[in-house]
Amino acid sequence: MPKNPQTSKITPHQALIYAMVLVAGSDRDITDNELQLIGRKARQLPVFETFDENRLPEVAQECAVIVHTRDGVERALTLIAEALPRHLRETCYLCATEIAAIDRRIPVEELRLLQRLRLVLDLDRLVTSAIERATQARLAVL
């Protein structure tokens, strides 16, 4: 029987996916681009090397269930922070930032969620600014 993510700890893989799903859904409109990018990251990033990508829909659904409970976003953010070792926190923020920026516009709700993620992960503002700027440069078009 699977664990209830609302009352138990999650894995670092789940935490990274939760962060991306939270940002994508924060404006209540998860786009195809956002979903496709989450899938690509789960298949291609070295941090997901040991993750079974077939579990991606299940993990995304777990996050959605949590978010739709009382104080769900805060609970999900807490689970993310508790699951991630220090060396994966910047990776988490990078993934979330790229999800927010993939549509080349970042709604205010996504910006607020990124700020909350930065705070809960206890990331330095200069580091997150550099991640944000690098993401913007990487996604620039002619």
Q: What is the pLDDT along the chain (142 residues), one digit of tens a residue?
A: 345 544 569 999 999 999 999 999 988 878 888 999 999 999 999 999 999 999 999 999 999 999 999 999 999 999 999 999 999 999 999 999 999 998 887 888 889 999 999 999 999 999 999 999 999 888 877 7
- Tell me, what's the pLDDT at 54? 94
What are the tokens at 138? Answer: 């990487």
The CATH number given to whatever domain includes residue 113 is 1.10.3680
DSSP codes of every residue in 74-128: HHHHHHHHHHS-GGGHHHHHHHHHHHHHTTS---HHHHHHHHHHHHHTT--HHHH
In a domain, 5, yes or no: no
Backbone angles phi, psi at 57, to 5 degrees: -60, -40
- With respect to residue 128, please indicate whether it lies within any of the assigned structural domains: yes
CA dihedral of 112, 116, 122, 126, whole degrees rounded to 10:
0
Whether 7 is covered by a domain: the verdict is no
In a domain, 1, yes or no: no
> Residue 4 domain-assigned?
no
Which residue is listed with tokens 């990508």? 53
Distance between CA atoms of residues 105 and 72, nearest Å = 25
Q: Considering the domain boundaries, does residue 51 fall inside one?
A: yes
* Domains identified in the chain, total number: 1
Residue 66's domain comprises: 12-138
In this structure, is residue 62 part of a structural domain?
yes
Domain assignment present for 81: yes
Closest CA to 48 of 11, 75, 97, 8: 11
